[in-house]
Structure 1
């Protein structure tokens, strides 16, 4: 292993390497040695930047959470345009990219990582909880615009959409669902409150 290689963005390279290992081999194969081997660097490089491996994994998870949070404003801004079903379908397809799905599996499989994440953020399962929060904000905006009924239960709709979509994507070795599969779930969940014809 090279030990004198200069990295421009060590953290970024290590996180990218972790994502590749996670996608290829699953959560159980994600070790510090696997990450540094994948990144083609000495094991000590990771430990120079992170106090422990769970701290590194927490950064991996929080990086994915930040991506969900970054999209939340754009999703909310899309209220009133397109259709509710189309906007929700597009967002769920983006949220549940293969890495995000694998990261959810990683979090559920590592007690130390969950403990570390509880220190860094509010309760809830990262990515899933954040996606539900983003969808709730969007759904509330659509309700204010009258495209959802005034009595639409946003606090139930948002996690229902996330949970149902996650079930479609959770089998990381299977064939990913098509957009039409996600759209069918979305239209079913919002059918009772939508004030526009589904398209």
Structure 2
């Protein structure tokens, strides 16, 4: 565990970048969620895991729900990088989507969904900037929909495919496949078979 930039607050220059503090605290939240679930995610747990002094988090966020809202939105905003395999016109559509689903839900995404469900205050705070849905899921559905629309235009999936609906179905089904983090993840063949059953192929 690295030392927090503000671990000894009285000796830190005022110019220390907020981004460094945020990233260290957000990374600690990732670890706690993946290791112990949303009920274990407290301000004290985050600062302890990050190696920070107790007051660091509250010096930079209004309260813990403010921290969590910024954390969730930050992780939702990084989904493009996790799903870089979504390049239309290359490889099998089924394989591309199956690999992207595995990359997405093999990350902290499932735990974030549980966190948003677990905390009423966080949901209320997110509504101020994200009007509907859970950020990680809605962002993922939009990314899949955009990819499938490109493939539809290229003629690689059925011309009449409702790509927005398919994106939402893929995210919902992927969440169900990967939701149980206590057991082994679904086999790649099972993910691929599920994706193949969802996406309509182009007429030959």
Q: Same fold (TM over 0.5)?
A: yes
Which residue number in structure 1 is paired with residue 51 of structure 2?
40
Which residue number in structure 2 is paired with residue 154 of structure 1?
163
Greater RCO (CA < 8 Å, at least 6 residues apart): 1
Name stretches of at least 5 consecutive residues in structure 1 with no aligned partner: none
| Contact 1:27-1:102 within 8 A present in 2 as well | yes
Q: Answer yes or no: is 1:188 the counterpart of 2:197.
A: yes
Q: Answer yes or no: is 1:64 the counterpart of 2:75.
A: yes
Which residue number in structure 2 is paired with residue 30 of structure 1?
41
Once superposed, what is the RMSD of the aligned Cα atoms?
A: 2.1
Distance 2:85 2:145 in 1: 10
| Contact 1:18-1:30 within 8 A present in 2 as well | yes
Name stretches of at least 5 consecutive residues in structure 2 with no aligned partner: 1-6
After TM superposition, give the deviation of residue 10 of structure 1 in Å: 1.3
Distance 1:59 1:172 in 2: 24
Residues 13 and 196 of structure 1: is their aligned pair in 2 closer, same or farther, counting only changes over 3 Å?
farther
Mapping 1:1-199, distance limit 5 Å? 3-4=8-9, 9-70=20-81, 74=84, 78-190=87-199, 193-195=200-202
After TM superposition, give the deviation of residue 143 of structure 1 in Å: 0.7
After TM superposition, give the deviation of residue 75 of structure 1 in Å: 5.1
After TM superposition, give the deviation of residue 122 of structure 1 in Å: 3.3
Distance 2:170 2:64 in 1: 33
Post-superposition Cα deviations, 1:26-73, rounded to whole Å, max 9, x if no partner, equal: 10110001111111221100001111101111121112101114556x
SS at match of 1:120: coil
Distance 1:119 1:23 in 2: 26
SS at match of 2:184: coil
More helix by share: 1
Post-superposition Cα deviations, 1:159-193, rounded to whole Å, max 9, x if no partner, equal: 11111111111012111122222111101111xx2
SS at match of 1:35: helix
| Contact 1:75-1:138 within 8 A present in 2 as well | no
| Contact 2:26-2:71 within 8 A present in 1 as well | yes
After TM superposition, give the deviation of residue 105 of structure 1 in Å: 0.5
Which residue number in structure 1 is paired with residue 4 of structure 2?
none
Aligned positions, number: 193
After TM superposition, give the deviation of residue 104 of structure 1 in Å: 0.9
| Contact 2:159-2:202 within 8 A present in 1 as well | no
Tell me the TM-score normalized by structure 2.
Answer: 0.87
**Structure 1 residue runs of 4+, over 2 Å off?**
2-8, 69-72
